Amino acid sequence: MSSRLEFRGLSRAFGQAEVLHEVSLTVEPSRCVALLGASGSGKSTLLRIAAGLDDPSSGQVLVDGSDLDGVPSEERGLALVFQKPLLFPHLNVVDNVAFSARMTGQSRKAARRHAMAYLELVHLSDLARRSAGCLSGGQEQRVALARALARNPRILLLDEPFSSLDSRLRDDMYSLVEDIRAELAPTIVLVTHDRREASILADSIAVLDEGRILQHGPVAQLHYQPATLAVNRILGGLNALSGRVTGGIHQSVFGRVPVQPGMVDGPAFLVMRQEAIRIVVTGEGTAVGSVTGLKSLGAHTLVRTEVTGDHGPSGTLTIDVAGEPDVTMGQVVGLKPVNDSGWAVTR
């Protein structure tokens, strides 16, 4: 159940409103790609088009090189799991999972035997005879996953299936997805607005904004090498300082910081993850800042500083510190990149 999915120049408009604009994206076999973006960015529309529940205005959807244009939803070999499980309330758990096999003509006994293998995979075989209406939210989503997998799809599409669960249940579902990937190696496309979820589950992330893919790449790349300020913001980056690149060095209020090779000279923003800056003794950093805010995140604290220097106007930098930092409001501290280098973008 592992195929290659490709969106090629895909657009979708509803009247004058263009929801998707020439989206091109390839998901390789057995890989998991997360579509990350705010509500209304086009994520779910892209998934619905892949599943055959909506038609593109232009462009193609291909599976293993074959165009799916005109192929009915039920014949595409794709399974879609929604945010709501949409179980059949009049059926018990095993018969919910066995439904697709029954629709293909299998006997009840054979379909149930097939379904039990997937209930075991999602750790719910002991609830096989329970009514679907007597399940918890997490159990319902496990059954929905088992039902989708029991169809032996070539590609598994997940449309924010964990967003209504509490944090503990979400973590349980993340572990379950890891188990499923290890056992079945499916191709997965995950729609989410949760950057933590995307980072945990996916091999790569495609950031969507207003119907366009801003960047697609490995998880770490998008966090530490964003293509634009928008990607940095969507991935949770809190810092962007205006300045100028000259000879591979970005100069700003943060001082002189080497940036990526090939960066052209001119105005640019230095984007530094809050985890990529450390507080040091004054005089040992590239800049100094005055502490203007302390926000506890439990195991971490965000330290907000106002930075002044000789290479640009004052600016704000936020640093993620493990535990409780040994600083106080108004204290002047030194600031330094963790790896003595940074990343610059022009827009």
Q: Look at the block and give the residue holding tokens 């598994």.
A: 156
Q: What is the mean pLDDT of residues 6-12?
A: 98
Of 211, 179, 186, 151, the closest CA to residue 20 belongs to: 211
pLDDT at position 21, please?
97
pLDDT band at residue 312 under the 50/70/90 scheme: low
Residue type, 3: S
What are 131-142's pLDDT values in tens digits? 998 999 999 999
Alpha-carbon distance 191 to 159, whole Å? Answer: 5
What are 172-184's pLDDT values in tens digits? 999 999 999 999 9
Whether 20 shows a pLDDT value over 80: the answer reads yes
Alpha-carbon distance 114 to 300, whole Å? Answer: 46
What are 141-198's pLDDT values in tens digits? 999 999 999 999 999 999 999 998 999 999 999 999 999 999 999 999 999 999 999 9
pLDDT at position 100, please?
87
What are 33-90's pLDDT values in tens digits? 999 999 999 999 999 999 999 999 999 999 999 999 999 999 999 999 999 998 999 9
Whether 241 shows a pLDDT value over 80: the answer reads yes
> What's the pTM?
0.93
Q: Which two tokens stand for residue 183?
A: 């056992």
Q: Does domain 5-224 have CATH number 3.40.50.300?
A: yes
Alpha-carbon distance 85 to 114, whole Å? Answer: 20
What are 264-306's pLDDT values in tens digits? 999 999 999 999 999 999 989 999 999 999 999 999 999 999 9
Q: What is the mean pLDDT of residues 117-125?
A: 95
> Domain spans of the chain?
5-224, 237-345
223 and 198 in contact (C-beta within 8 Å)?
Answer: no
Backbone φ and ψ for 57, nearest 5 degrees, come out as: -75, -30
